[in-house]
């Protein structure tokens, strides 16, 4: 899983740079668009960076948790984390033309997947310490 997270993280950062170039070369310039349309482009662009960095850091630091349940939580969390940058890249290209009212399942699904994936990884790492019997 570490390798998948690292690859998706690096590819996501490349996609972030690419979406930045799309905004720079956009006709008309993104800075001249209506504020709501500009917000849609910039927010999806920044969300993509965040999701990509989470994947990159997960790939660099992930350690398999002991126990079947904890590993299952990590696996489920990893699947959600890996899905998030893909959905956000799609959202960057599809959602801005719909305006603020056109927020679709792509961006909200990606952000909820990012949240749920991080929470599942965190829960999988919680250790309950039991005090010794006295």
Instruction: Tell whether 130 is covered by a domain.
Output: no
Instruction: Tell whether 8 is covered by a domain.
Output: yes
pLDDT tens profile 49-59? 999 999 999 99
Give the number of other CB atoms < 10 A from CB of residue 49: 18
Q: What is the pTM of this model?
A: 0.87
The tally of domains found in the chain comes to 1
pLDDT tens profile 83-134? 999 999 999 988 887 777 666 788 999 999 999 999 999 998 887 777 676 5
Torsion, CA 107, CA 108, CA 113, CA 115, rounded to 10: 110
Per-residue pLDDT at 103: 67
Mean pLDDT of the chain: 89
Per-residue pLDDT at 15: 96
Domain that holds residue 49: 2-125
């Amino acid at each position: 899983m570490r390798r998948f997270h690292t690859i998706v993280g690096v590819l996501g950062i490349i996609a972030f740079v690419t979406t930045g170039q799309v905004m720079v070369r956009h006709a008309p310039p993104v800075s001249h668009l209506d504020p709501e349309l500009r917000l849609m482009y910039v927010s999806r662009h920044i969300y993509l960076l965040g999701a990509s960095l989470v994947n990159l850091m997960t790939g660099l630091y992930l350690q398999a948790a002991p126990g079947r349940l904890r590993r299952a939580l990590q696996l489920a969390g990893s699947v959600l984390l890996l899905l998030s940058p893909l959905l956000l890249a799609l959202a960057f290209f599809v959602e801005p033309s719909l305006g603020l009212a056109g927020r679709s399942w792509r961006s909200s699904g990606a952000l909820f997947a990012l949240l749920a994936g991080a929470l599942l990884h965190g829960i999988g790492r919680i250790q309950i310490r039991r005090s010794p019997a006295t």
